[in-house]
Amino acid sequence: MSRPRGPAEAIVGGDRRALARAITAVESGDPSADPLLRAIFPRTGRIPIVGLTGPLGVGKSSLVNLLVGQLRSAGKTVGVVAVDPSSPFSGGSVLGDRIRLERRADDDGVFFRSMASRGAVGGLAASTRDVARLLEAAGFDLVLVETVGSGQVDVTIREVATTRIVVLVPHLGDEVQTLKAGLFEIADVFCINKSDLPGSETAERHLAELASLGPGPDGWRARIVRTSAVQPFGLPELWKAVEAHEQFLAASPDHPAELRRRLSEEIVGRVRELVASEIAERLESDPDLRKLLDRVVARQLDPRSAADRLVPRGRA
């Protein structure tokens, strides 16, 4: 007689349906995922989490598809998370119509999941981090996280990925370049996709000039790779650049401090959300707090002074 397995054991044991259920729970902010996430944490933090970000229309999904094929041929198992930034107003997905990763239904070495941000405590970065941990616990050798480059998801990539690929195309409009300025600062690897189109050498030279301003604060100098999903070319070079960055991290004396900073921010973020939801709930339900809010609504008390009265005393 075997005793029934918990979800953590099921996921670690390779049960893909248990994995899918856990990811759904994380995505929808379901607290039932909590014990599981606590249980798997010791098994995590060891694999590369490779983020691909960039503006809409640069071909990130095709690149991911090709990278997955290449990594599978090399014997690697791959978890893929495509992050859909939901509208903050509707919860609707921006990427609803996008052509999704080619199904590899017969291949247990790939797991693809599209994710929206609704409901997750602490937002998209927190839930993406949790899903990457689930994939690591499930035994995948690496995780690819694909996002559309916008403010919120840039933060996801910055905080969650170990190596960040910024995908561009040879001719980006000036406006897009301005809007996406933040992307330049998070790139460990620049990928100039659609380099079968004219102008890719110029784009590479332009990026190289930017990169030659010197290495980033962590000492890494961003690499530039030209790719095409049509011909295709450049994919092995792209992955070599990722591996070079992962090796750099492994040897970097600053990397442990960065990991510590990320975990500290994760803890702070969680405390922040726990406190906020408790206070929000009590402003509705607790008669004393309702009276406090009444006074603010009547402009007899200002919101700052009300908040001061609600900040709980520390402990621990």
Between CA 49 and CA 73 the distance in angstroms is 19
Does 4 interact with a copy of itself (rule: CB under 8 A)? no
Indicate whether 3 belongs to the interface with a copy of itself (CB under 8 A).
no
| Cβ nearer to a copy of itself, comparing 17 with 299 | 299
Among 1, 2, 4, 88, binds a copy of itself (CB under 8 A): 88
Rounded to an integer, what distance in angstroms lies between the CA atom of residue 104 and that of residue 90? 31
Q: Does 307 bind a copy of itself (CB under 8 A)?
A: yes
For residue 116, which of 33, 41, 15, 23 has the smallest C-alpha distance? 23
Identified binder of a copy of itself from the candidate list 13, 92, 219, 236, rule CB under 8 A: 92
CB of 266 to a copy of itself, least distance (A): 5
Cα separation, 307 vs 190, whole angstroms: 44
Q: Which of residues 273-302 bind a copy of itself (CB under 8 A)?
A: 273-276, 278-280, 282-284, 288-289, 292-293, 296-297, 299-300, 302
Residue 256 binds a copy of itself (CB under 8 A): yes
Strand partners, 80: 112, 144
| Binding of residue 309 to a copy of itself (CB under 8 A) | yes
Asked whether position 119 contacts a copy of itself by CB under 8 A, the answer is: no
**218 forms part of the interface with a copy of itself (CB under 8 A):** no
Give the residue with the Cβ less far from a copy of itself, 130 or 241.
130
Q: Given candidates 75, 214, 253, 312, which one binds a copy of itself under the rule CB under 8 A?
A: 312
Q: Which residues in the 35-54 window bind a copy of itself by CB under 8 A?
A: 37-38, 41-42, 44-45
**Only segment of 63-71, 101-109, 146-154, 247-255 that touches a copy of itself (CB under 8 A):** 146-154
Residue 214 lies near a copy of itself (rule: CB under 8 A): no
- For residues 78 and 110, is the Cβ–Cβ distance under 8 A? yes
Residues 170/202, Cβ–Cβ less than 8 Å? yes
Residues 178-197 that bind a copy of itself (CB under 8 A): 178-179, 181-182, 185-186
Tokens of 134: 């689930």
> Cα(303)–Cα(67) distance, rounded to whole angstroms?
51
Q: Please give the size of the binding site for a copy of itself, defined by CB under 8 A.
A: 75
| Options 83-91, 106-114, 162-170, 196-204: segment touching a copy of itself (CB under 8 A) | 83-91
Long-range contacts of residues 239-242, Cβ cutoff 8 Å, at least 24 apart: 239/67, 239/70, 239/71, 241/189, 242/48, 242/50, 242/163, 242/165, 242/188, 242/189
Applying CB under 8 A, among 53, 65, 128, 150 the residue interacting with a copy of itself is 150
Where are the strands (E) in 187-306, listed by range? Answer: 189-192, 223-226
Q: Name residue 111's amino acid.
A: F
Of residues 102 and 273, the one with the C-beta less far from a copy of itself: 273
Applying CB under 8 A, does 171 fall inside the site for a copy of itself?
no
Tokens encoding 258: 């960065």
The string of DSSP codes covering 44-64 is: -S-S-EEEEE--TTS-HHHHH
